Structure 1
């Protein structure tokens, strides 16, 4: 949450330069509060496991969140009961008239296929377009991030020689960025994928900023300058046992798989792994929700007016313009 300080306090300018939320008395008195509306497009086969992991992180924020769960209509899930899907999920066609402060698009186990060969690709492209007018900030995860970068920016993926699998240390690219504010300079992120984006194509795209990367995994947290779009290549949401479950699943199926790197103590699968990324996962999601809370319009339908590539980080008038419109 932001701190409310006198407008003329000398510390205000310093805090703003460090990308710390500070609002003056006038804006604080004028603020109106409502729950943030969040929609999760869950493309994973085991939907209950994925939704639990994501909701666990969202719940760490002190903000009140209203959650909708979305599924695609052009693909039938075989690993989640129909009763659960009918009870808790809606198709995009049902939700597309809604506006949301935040959206999360998960990964999917289709990364080795060309994007256009995925059976729900056409529907997903409609959803990608819809987010630009109906969602203030969309976080794409793993394959969802690769798909989003490909569709919005033409950034391709390519096949790795072996699966990128384990917990990898990452370097922070900007210690004062809002989204990663409070991160250690080195932070761990789980990865589990067979593909990687083209870093040369990414470097040519000046609408995107890299916040976290490593030599082994490449760029991991990528954002537009106003956080309308966030692309996370790793799995901050993973629980301590997730990679172990994937490893033993593949071993039992006779698939070629190496022990996940930097995960089991002494690389011994018989030892319980240690959770080394939880604090940064919580911080990432808290920072994201806090940012959206400060910048979203009170009248949520005004989200469609928000600029796609420019925001509070570079233009402090962005959030104030929404508040002025709301007052009127």
Structure 2
């Protein structure tokens, strides 16, 4: 770490919980301690590789611009509906108070944009869904750019050959954080070296990011109208199969197509209790890429239930009161009209359509 000095110590970390666990003598092999420690290790790994990438970008200006973040970025308030570096130094896209995308680093020029994913995970099996969502957001924000991804993994991670063709994978040597953890624990006993600041024409602030207009909730409503735009059909299958539709489903994970009334839903699924007057119907993309129907019942601004049916088994899950789904359904319910009503027969037709796409 010689060429980055003590720069890692200038990033923000929340270590209070981890240090408290250690002071209380919590078993270091316990799930609680390991979860907290791995979270900290992941942040240190991300920041360490970001410092290395920054130096790499500085000496390779032909790669294009490299976005400054963390202690290298100018501190300012977080913004809504924009890709920016927030007050905590992270590269994020935020709508109101909900973050829908975060990027560990960004390279970009007039033709190409490369988002970077830095992670200590041991298997990339669950990484593909996250990459799919991030790529979709970047493609929407930069529609004229070729979008690629740089994935940086620790040596020993498995499954990299399963990643999509737009991904380039780099492996690092085994990474240890004990030294920096001990420096944080020592509080004022360790005097940090001065921060190493880098300057170059291609090391830029987020003001250089010129994105296409994108309104999250407006896009959800637009998708609703497009998917229901074919006369005498429950779904516009032609649109559902387009690149544009796929991109938005990858970003949203689910798109809304209408609602069932209480009586119809109760007749279809009598096992579900306390059914709301309107049950919102959505198409959701599973981790397997299969498209399925899913249902939502909203009781209040913060209470939302998600009903899924798989192999005739009904699962009811309460969604996070502060999550994006609660806000989405609240918004969609205000947009739904009588024309968006879906009968039990139409549900069966929609399921048949989706099964044909599988």
- TM-score where L is the length of structure 2: 0.24
Max Rg structure: 2
Higher RCO (Cα < 8 Å, 6 or more apart): 1
TM-score by length of 1: 0.26
